[in-house]
Amino acid sequence: MSAVFGIAGRSGSGKTTLIEAMLPLLAARGLRVSIIKHSHHDFQMEPPGKDSARFRLAGAQEVMVASPYRYAIVHELRNAPEPTLAEQVARLSPADLVLVEGFKQAAIPRIEVYRPALGKPPLHTEDGSFLAVVTDAALDTALPCLPLNDPAQVADFVCRTLGLGQGLGQGLGKGGAAGSGQPAH
């Protein structure tokens, strides 16, 4: 069974960029990592007019596009309820770690990517289930603060939290400047 870890935050906070930077670091530890990206919007995987889009629009429940390099399955819900996160994880191939972007309400271990410059309140003050905050600023919080510009430290936190692979042994700050270990002011 795959370990699941969430990365949540407001739009534009840097979640995708952080995950993208963490992936080669996690792969270097020998971990097989999958991603689930939740969207509140409709999305199209295939360009309109292509065969796969035409099959789906004509009524196919699932369309698989396969090549010698990769494959993708598009499953049309057709007014069925959205599958739970657990159901989505079960659909993935076996992996050591599934990183989840979004699914803010899911009961999984997670961190928040927070940038005060966006002018929006943090999520961790509204929801006590976050384990740490990844940020580019000094915060007044009791949660560990990890530096947004140090994906290795964030990857280490995720691995140590889940008991995966070998940690890098870097320390974690509590409040204060991200990763500094300095007290909050």
Per-residue model confidence as pLDDT tens digits over 63-85: 999 999 999 898 888 889 989 99
d(CA 88, CA 101): 13
The mean predicted confidence, pLDDT, of the chain is 87
Alpha carbons 111 and 19: distance in angstroms, whole number = 12
pLDDT digits 0-9 by tens, 32-66 = 999 999 876 676 777 788 888 899 889 999 999 99
- Exposed, middle or buried: residue 126 (CB in 10 Å: 0-12, 13-18, 19+)? exposed
Among 5-9, 12-16, 57-61, 104-108, whose mean pLDDT is lowest? 104-108
3-class secondary structure, 145: strand
User: How confident is the model at residue 177, as a pLDDT?
Assistant: 45
27: CB partners within 8 A, 6+ apart: 33
The full set of domains in the chain, from first to last, is 3-39+82-176 (3.40.50.300)
